[in-house]
Amino acid sequence: MNAGPKFRTPYRTTGADLAAALGMKTRAKQTVAFVCSRHGGGMPTRTTVLVDGEYYEVLDGTYRALLAGWTPTELELEPVNPADDFTADQFEG
């Protein structure tokens, strides 16, 4: 016996898809400001960003995660003081 053709509906969503969509954790609303990037020295690009009043030095992947809403706490980032990088001690002859 030959059954009729199967029709596809636009509402073809599984319960797992719905559960995944509803269970997604909303990301934090935070301000991520680009400060500067450092290139060279055989190291990957390091970007200094300002997130809600704290400075962090991060790699590109971490910077994208911050822009996507991950918090510095979730990414286990430690704040840095950008003024420490430009002290007079480092530039002595």
45 has a pLDDT exceeding 70:
yes
Neighbours of 77 (CB within 10 A): 19
- Rounded to whole angstroms, the Cα distance separating 6 from 1 reads 15
92 against 39, higher pLDDT: 39
10 against 68, higher pLDDT: 68
Q: pTM of the prediction?
A: 0.61
Query: Which tokens hold the place of 52?
Result: 């809600």
**pLDDT-based confidence at 11, cuts 50/70/90?**
low
**pLDDT-based confidence at 77, cuts 50/70/90?**
very high
3-state secondary structure of 36: strand
Neighbours of 25 (CB within 10 A): 7
